[in-house]
Structure 1
Amino acid sequence: MIYFDFAATTPLDSDVAEVFVQASTEFYGNSNSLHDIGGQSQDLLENCREELANLLGVNKKGLYFTSGGSEGNFLAIEALLSALKKPGKHIIAGMAEHSSIHGVLSRLEGYTITFLPLNSSGLIDIEELEHSLTPETILVTVQHVNSEIGTIQPVERIARICQENDIHFHSDFVQSFGKIDLKKVAPLVSSFSFSGHKIYGPKGVGGAYIDPAISWRPFFPGGSHERGFRPGTVNVPAIAAMTAAAQKIHTQLFDSKDKFIALRAALMETLEPIKELVHIHQADQSSQLPSIIGLGISGIEGQWMMLECNRYGFAISTGSACQIGMQTPAKVTEALGLSLQVAKEFIRISFGKSTKMEDVVKLGETIVDIVKRFKN
């Protein structure tokens, strides 16, 4: 089976696995315990916090470790809502946000929420965002990179608008962490989330950043871990492994980008024989993560295409793994304004560090063969 679903999750890097085992066996103490073994675990935890803060260009005092991106999104938004810059009950969110964002917004009572669609390039329309602002707007939440089509949202411009209007800005960095240099954008937002398993780290670990200038209140009362941000014993081995994964992937950022641009171009070229049936949802290269390709093939349901590819030994997807179990089209298709029929045609192909050119060509040729047989 050749894997093309790296946007969903990644295999654990072998060097990172060694770090996890070493931390589990040598730094096993509870980081809150006052004895020396606990102190060693606490020292490792704070070293990881400092290293990740340096990679992200933020103050380590605002960095908190969580069980992953979904929990990070939930707790960050709740933290911002506990410490508003001004009174109000209006929130603006991207229509294509991750299901964890929709989940936290759906449970809020008494708030008005405006969901912004994406334009034909898969981007938030800045003018529409500005027109949606009201004196009551207190929070904007827009993901940095869309997990289903890989478009990179204009976080810098959105952050500037929010700052000018005393509005908190949360951004889901799960798909951009380890794939884009975040040092310029991370300090501009009120909060962001990230995850370990998208960058060849372990599952079940991630984090959230809250601007240290924000005096938030804990969502869970009485928690002593992570300065009250969340309850539960801190998973120091997983945090150490995620930090090692982040360090490793950051050294490969530029080389990886060039590789993924070449792989993307190769897939497009291989799909040329059926190009009149293929629609790729993408932005121009400056606003596009090259490793994620969201597309539809006219007249062929994405789930059927995914199963056919699986039969031929290729693992692709029909969108975010957090949404698939609900048997509904990818959220991005609604945000793009696609009809239900066209939305059902959506598939996602995503590359990773082990993806080979010959495998990409093989996948493209297989898709072409499947389409030709289907159409005959």
Structure 2
Amino acid sequence: MIYFDFAATTPLDAEAAEVFLQASTEFFGNSSSLHDFGGQSQDLLENCREELANLLGINKKGLYFTSGGSEGNFLAIEALLSAPKKAGKHIIAGMAEHSSIHGILDRLEGYSITYLPLNSSGLIDIEELANAITPDTVLVIVQHVNSEIGTIQPLEDIARICREHDIHFHSDFVQSFGKIELKKITPLVSSFSFSGHKIYGPKGVGGVYVDPAISWRAFFPGGSHERGFRPGTVNVPAIASMTAVAQKIHDQLVQCHGHFLQLRATLMESLNPIKDSVVVFEAAPDSQLPSIIGLRISGVEGQWMMLECNRYGFAISTGSACQIGMQAPAKVTQALGLSPQEAKEFIRISFGKTTKMEDVVKLGETIVDIVMKFKL
């Protein structure tokens, strides 16, 4: 079986696994305990916080560790809503946001939500965003990189509009963390979330940054961990492992980007025999993460294609793993304005640093073969 679903999750890096094991056995003390074992764990935790803060270009006082991206999104949005810049009950969010964002917004009471679609390039229309703002708008939520088609949203423009109107801005960085240099972007947002398992770190760990200038109120009162940001014993071994792999992958950003560009071009070339049936959802190269390819093949249901590829030994997907269990079309298909039938045809192919060129060619040839046989 050859893996092409790196946007869903990644295998644990061998060095990250060693760090996790060492921290679990040698730094097992509760980081909140006052004895020496706790102090050693606390020192490791704070060292990780400082290292990640330096990597991201942020103030470490605003960095909090969580169980992952979904929890991070929840806590960040609740924190921002607890300390708005002005009075109001209006929120603007991307229609193609991760399912965790939709879940958070669905449970809010008393707020009106405006959902913005994507244009034909898979990007938020800046003019449409500006027009959606009202005097009551207190929060804008737009993910940095779409997890299903890999488009990179214009956060600089969005942040500028938010500053001009005294609006908090939260962005989901789960798909951009460890894949794009973020130091120029992080100062522009009020908060962002990230996750370890998308970058070859362990599952069940991530983080949130909230601008330290924001005087948020804790959603879970009485918590003593992470300065009250969340309850629960801090998972120091997983944090250490995530930090180690984040440092490692950051040094490989340029190399990986070039590799992914080649893989993407190779896959597109291998699909040439059925190019009239293939629709790729993508932006211009400078606004596109090359490792994620979202597409549909006219007349072929995505779930059937995914199962056929699986039968031939290739693991692809039909969108975010966080909503596949609900049998719902990928959020991005609605945001792009696809018909229900077109939405069912959506598939996602995503590369990782271990993806080989010859395997990409084999996948392309297999997809072509499946389509040819299907349309006979």
Q: Secondary structure at the match of 1:261?
A: helix
2:20 aligns with 20
How far apart, CA to CA, are the structure 1 residues paired with 2:245 and 2:156? 26
Partners of 2:354 and 2:192 in 1: CA distance: 28
Task: Report whether the alignment pairs 1:354 with 2:354.
Answer: yes
Cα deviations across residues 99-140 of structure 1 (Å, max 9, x unaligned)? Answer: 010011000001010000000000000000000000100000
State percent identity of aligned pairs.
Answer: 83
Question: Structure 1 CA distance, aligned partners of 2:328 and 2:48?
Answer: 38
Q: Distance in 2 between matches of 1:198 and 1:244?
A: 14
Q: Secondary structure at the match of 1:207?
A: strand
Pairing 1:370–2:375 present: no
TM-score (norm 1): 1.00
The reply to whether residue 247 of structure 1 matches residue 247 of structure 2 is yes
Counting only pairs closer than 5 Å after superposition, residues 205-220 of structure 1 correspond to structure 2 as 205-220=205-220
SS of residue in 2 equivalent to 1:194: strand
Residue identity opposite 1:338 in structure 2: L
Q: Aligned ranges for residues 35-46 of structure 1 at < 5 Å?
A: 35-46=35-46
Displacement after TM superposition at 1:187 (Å): 1.1
Secondary structure of the 1:80 match is helix
Provide the secondary structure at the position in 1 that maps to 2:192: strand
Distance in 2, Cα, partners of 1:352 & 1:122: 22
Alignment RMSD (CA, Å): 0.3
1:12-34 deviations in Å (ceiling 9; x for gaps): 00000000000000000000000
* Structure 2: gaps of 5 or more residues: none
- Matched to 2:347, the amino acid is I
Q: Which string of whole-angstrom CA distances, capped at 9 and with x for unpartnered residues, describes residues 221-276 of structure 1?
A: 10000000000000000000000110010000000000000000000000000000
**What is the rounded CA distance, in whole Å, between the counterparts of 2:229 and 2:254 in structure 1?**
34
Question: CA-to-partner distance for each residue in 1:289-322, whole Å, 9 max, x for gaps?
Answer: 0000000000000000000000000000000000
1:70-112 deviation line (CA, Å, top 9, x unaligned): 0000000000000000000000000000001001100000101
Count of residue pairs brought into register by the alignment: 376
Q: C-alpha distance in 2, partners of 1:214/1:163?
A: 14
CA–CA separation in structure 1 for the residues paired with 2:274 and 2:351: 21
Residue type matched to 1:353 in 2? K
Q: How far, CA to CA, are the matches of 1:61 and 1:290 in structure 2? A: 33
Q: For the residues of structure 1 that align with 2:153 and 2:206, how far apart are their CA atoms?
A: 21
Partners of 2:13 and 2:296 in 1: CA distance: 32
Deviation string, structure 1 residues 192-221 (Cα, Å, up to 9, x no partner): 000000000000000000000000000001
Partner of 2:265: 265
* Partner SS, residue 276 of structure 1: helix
SS of 2:276's equivalent in the other structure is coil
- Output one character per residue of 1:31-69: Cα deviation in whole Å (capped at 9) or x when no partner: 000011100000000000000000100000000000000
Q: What SS does the aligned partner of 1:162 have?
A: helix
The alignment partner of 2:197 has SS state of coil
Q: Partner of 2:163 in structure 1?
A: 163
Deviations 1:128-170 (A, max 9, x none): 0000000100000000000000000001110111011100000
* Aligned twin of 1:296: 296
1:198-237 to 2 correspondences below 5 Å: 198-237=198-237
Return the alpha-carbon distance in structure 1 between the equivalents of residues 110 and 190 of structure 2: 22
Distance between the aligned counterparts of 1:121 and 1:166, measured in 2? 28
After superposition, where does 1:312-323 map in structure 2 within 5 Å? 312-323=312-323
User: Which residue of structure 2 lines up, in the alignment, with residue 193 of structure 1?
Assistant: 193
CA distance in 2, matches of 1:319, 1:170: 22
Paired residue type of 1:125: D
Q: C-alpha distance in 2, partners of 1:170/1:364? A: 37
Residue aligning to 1:101: 101
Cα distance in 2 for residues equivalent to 1:113 and 1:371: 41
The 1-side partners of 2:171 and 2:208 are apart by 10
For the pair 1:284 / 2:284, whether they are aligned, the reply is: yes
1:120 aligns with 2:120: yes
User: Structure 2 CA distance, aligned partners of 1:61 and 1:251?
Assistant: 24
* Corresponding residue for residue 64 of structure 1: 64
| Superposition TM-score, scaled by structure 2 size | 1.00
Which position in structure 2 is the counterpart of 1:11? 11
Match of 1:254, SS state, is: helix
Unaligned runs of 5+ in 1: none
Q: Distance in 1 between matches of 2:129 and 2:82?
A: 23
Q: Secondary structure at the match of 1:366?
A: helix
Q: Equivalents in 2 of 1:45, 1:20: separation in Å?
A: 13
1:275 maps to 2:275: yes
User: SS of the residue aligned with 1:41?
Assistant: helix
Q: What secondary structure sits across from 1:24 in the alignment?
A: helix
Report the counterpart of residue 311 of structure 1 in structure 2: 311
